[in-house]
Amino acid sequence: MKRVLSAPASAVARLIELMFRGIGRLAPVSARDVRSPEALRTFRSVCQSGYERRGVPGLLREGLRECADLGWTVLTARAEAMPSPAFPSLTPWTRDLRMAWRALRHSRTSGAIAIATLAVGIGVNAAVFSVLDATLWRQVPFQHADRLVELWNFSPAQKITFSGLPHRVVPEWRRQTDLFDRVEAFGNQTLIYETDRGAETVEGAVVTPGLFELLGAGASRGRTFIAGEGQGGTNRVAVISDTFWRERLGSPADLTRIELRFSGNSYQVVGVMPRTFRFPTGSQEAWIPYDVEQPPAGGPAVRGLTPLARLAEGVTLEQATAEVTARGERVAAAGGGPPGITAALSQLGADVEDRTYTSLWVLSGAVGFLFLIVCANVSNLALSRSLSRARDLATCAAMGASPASLIRTTVLEQVLLASAGAIAGVGVAAAGIRLTLAALPEVMTAQTLNAIDLDMRVLSFMVLAGLTAALVCGLPPALLAARSSINSAVGGDRRSTTGSRHARRFRASLAVIEVAVSVVLLVGAAVMARSFIALATQDQGFDTRGLISLRVGLPSIGYKDVALRDAAAADIVTRMAALPGVAGVTVGGLPSDTTFITMGKIEFADRPGELTPQVMIPVHEVPPNYFATLGIPILAGRTFEPGDPEGSVIVNQRLAAKYFPGGDAVGRQFRMPGKPWRTIIGVVGTTLANTESGGGRSEMFYPVGKAVDTMRPTMPASAIVDFRTFIVRAHNPEQVMRQLPAAVHARDTSIVIWKTALVEHLLAEAIARPRVVFAMMSVFAGVGLILAMVGLYGVLSCLVAQRRQELGVRLALGAGSRDVRRLVLGHGLRLTAIGGALGLLAAWPLVRMMRSLLYEVDPADPLAMAGAAAIVGATALFSSWWPARDAGRISPVELLRR
């Protein structure tokens, strides 16, 4: 008995049958049986049997194979039906296809340029937009993504939002069932992965066991956590990432035997997440369960948790936002959270950092413009190819080819070209996405929760857009040329066989557009270049040459007491200083690292009653030699000395200038309300705080061990109790860098080396984002410029070909070849000038959008504008020169002989 098709199956069946019939319609007479009702019935039987064996997939499989076979049959039948040249019973389409193919092979160079142009346009756009789609537009790839929100701390007084709640607050949020269906939580944690070869750090996260279920994410091997895991006794299990499983473990099939040591404890691996799973960021490689209701006893409390909640059905984001802020303080208080702090929420994945956002938009704008140039160029090339073939077409028309056939040939040629371009474009896209991912710095890609890959929807869209663009832009000029050639063949007007007046105008305006758009790109790139150079060469406020930064983690075993940590750090400093080639060692990190902060209103001893507004000032704990080692100048007073009175502080120039504008900050006293008085003993130079945006900030320096009244970052529950960063200045930094770990381990092998790097490299890393935007913009602008110049060259050489007779007559009547050259050059430069002016006008508002990415450069930077104009002018002159030279070499005698 026949199984009746289900609704989706019958839809699929109908679709496939449509395809089958469509292909069948292309069959030549010799294979006409394939479109008979009988063949169709057989086709249906085959599909039906596929369905009966394997359901819809079986149906699809059989159906597609049938179609493929039919396609092949039709093709071979057509090939057999293709007559030999001596046998002129060609079907019109095949004949025209052959004509088109021949024509393409004839104008190989311009065809290849058109294909390459299209391929670049499609490929680059697909790559950049795939990244953009994953980071900005696509919803996060989790179940009920539109209802997933993250909860933050919100301080209404300071108007700041920050993450990290104590674990007991999470159950309190779970009780707000009118707002949330479900509340889980996670906290990022750096784990120390211990192997026989030594310890390394791995980005991980503690998560409540239900988190994976909330996300709707399953393991690709094994399982995720089950309820009840993450309590005392059940917390020694872990889920690992695909990368970890593959690269560190060598993809073992049997998970049950894998025990990993993280931060001093051993964990049983229970599952591996799929490659595409990214949560909380793309860097996480291991997840450890943590039950907030019954946390494992004995361990330190986890403080840095972020709740992830699913809004209850029917609750809008606005309602939830208002309610969360209203209830936040009460909920936090019930769970032992800090007083005066309420909560805020944000949709999961909606939080893209501003600079990343703008950078990606600017890049997408740039590739969009590039695509515009591509379109104009394809159009231009199509026209020039058609024009160069006008004679052939005219001959064909004269020999009896119908206008329809001529147009068909032109269309087919364009279709062939577009298809080749699209296929090549897919290749460029595949390479492009790798390049883009390799080029984009981690700050721009780590945060997105979507897997970044070449997106098939984006790619198909771009291929479609490319095909459409090639046809839409390529057909009118081709048809224009075809029509004019037919007219000319009929009218016998030889002089206008190289293009009508319309075609000429059309081409000229295309060249103008290309020049204009490439000017926009160039201005963008030039502004970015100026900004980047300013960033890369800015004065850091300290001497970065030969500086090494080494960050270590102190284990909680043995370093519970702060005094012990300080002693160990002092000892390590002495050991490092003894290494050959070391000029100075200090501890306390780079000025741009934020370790501690002090917050509140400042009160001054000599101005009683005066309070500053609420401020937040970074505080560094440093030894006396810190400033000398880093090369930060001491502008007034002195550095710390042993026996300094309690409350001695050094401030930077910026803070001194802000609160003690008289310039005599040394000796003055200030305090935060309720805290002891602080006496300024020295003022030091301001260093750069943020390398990417530039500028300094107010900072304070306390002697080691004296910053007890500041806010410190809370350490997540881990085996590391504290971090110390050593700064070493060396004459031979590369060699010294290799010896530093040994110097640390000579003190204690249990100290974990976190990160060792040359400070100059760190600073280069910090400006990776502007560098990438700058680099990519330059590449796009360069490609755009080349394309525009190809277009301009095409226009001018065509013009010369077109006006050959006229130019010849001019030469014959006594015009010098100089005059003729000037004529052509002038035409090219006129077009360039119009395009350039339009481009500069358009660039003005567009480049303003890049304002937030720029450092010390005005978007309307005259130098960048002038530079772009100069580059375009120079290249235009170059590409106009060759046609002009040709024009100058026209021999009137030869022309007359023709």
Partner 1 sequence: MKPRDPRSFLPLTPRVFHVLLALAEAPLHGYGVILEVQRQTDGVIVLRTGTLYVLLRRLLDQKLITESEERAAPEDDDERRRYYALTDLGHQVVRAESRRLEQVLQTARRSRVLGRPR
Binding stretches for partner 1 (CB under 8 A): 20, 24, 30-34, 36-39, 41-43, 45-46, 65-66, 69-74, 77
H/E stretch holding 684:
strand 678-684
Chain centre distance of CA 80: 51
- Give the nearest distance from C-beta 14 to partner 1 in angstroms: 17
State the minimum distance, in angstroms, from the CB of residue 70 to partner 1. 3
Give the contacts of 183 (CB within 8 A, at least 6 positions apart). Answer: 170, 173, 174, 176, 307, 308, 309, 310
> What distance in Å separates the CA atoms of residue 70 and residue 266, rounded to the nearest whole number?
60
Q: Which residues contact 629 (CB under 8 A, 6 or more apart)?
A: 584, 585, 586, 727, 729
Q: Which amino acid is at 329?
A: E
> At its nearest, how many Å lie between partner 1 and the CB of residue 415?
24
β-bridge mates for residue 757, sequence order: 549
**CB of residue 21 to partner 1, shortest distance in Å:** 12
Q: Would you state the structure tokens that stand for residue 741, as one six-digit string?
A: 């770990």
Beta bridge partners, 619, equal 596, 700
Peptide bond before residue 741 is cis, with ω within 30 degrees of 0? no
Of 1 and 438, the one with the shorter C-beta distance to partner 1 is 1
Question: In this structure, are strands 607-611 and 603-604 parallel, antiparallel, or unpaired?
Answer: antiparallel
CB of 33 to partner 1, least distance (A): 4
Minimum gap (Å) between residue 39 Cβ and partner 1: 5
Nearer to partner 1, 33 or 259 (CB): 33
Buried b (16+ CB within 10 A) or exposed e, 77-100: bbeebeeeeeeeebeeeebbbebb
> Cβ of residue 201: shortest distance to partner 1, in angstroms?
56
Q: Which is nearer to partner 1, 69 or 606 (CB)?
A: 69
Nearer to partner 1, 68 or 863 (CB): 68
Looking at the Cβ atoms of 77 and 871, the one nearer to partner 1 is 77
On the question of a cis peptide bond just before residue 862, with omega within 30 degrees of 0, the verdict is no
Residue pair 810/820 in contact (Cβ under 8 Å)? The answer is yes
Q: Is 137 exposed, middle or buried (0-12, 13-18, 19+ CB in 10 A)?
A: exposed
Query: Which residue number, 41 or 330, has a Cβ lying nearer to partner 1?
Result: 41
Retrieve residue 263's tokens.
């931060």
Q: Label residue 748 exposed, middle or buried (CB < 10 Å: 0-12, 13-18, 19+).
A: middle
From the CB of 92, what's the least distance to partner 1, in Å? 23
Q: Closer to partner 1 at the Cβ: 77 or 681?
A: 77
The Cα 386–Cα 92 span in angstroms is 20
CB of 437 to partner 1, least distance (A): 41
Q: Provide the pairing of β-strand 582-587 with 700-703.
A: unpaired
CB of residue 73 to partner 1, shortest distance in Å: 4
Nearer to partner 1, 46 or 451 (CB): 46
Token pair 């980005």 in the structure block, residue: 203
- CB of 43 or CB of 774, closer to partner 1: 43
Question: Which H helix or E strand runs over 286?
Answer: strand 286-289
In the bound state with partner 1, the residue whose beta carbon lies nearer, of 1 and 7, is 1
Q: How far is the CB of 42 from partner 1 (least distance, A)?
A: 4
694: left (phi over 0), alpha (psi -120 to 50) or beta: left
In terms of CB distance, is 31 or 672 closer to partner 1? 31
Question: Which residue type does 278 have?
Answer: R
Phi, psi of 150, rounded to the nearest 5 degrees: -105, 145
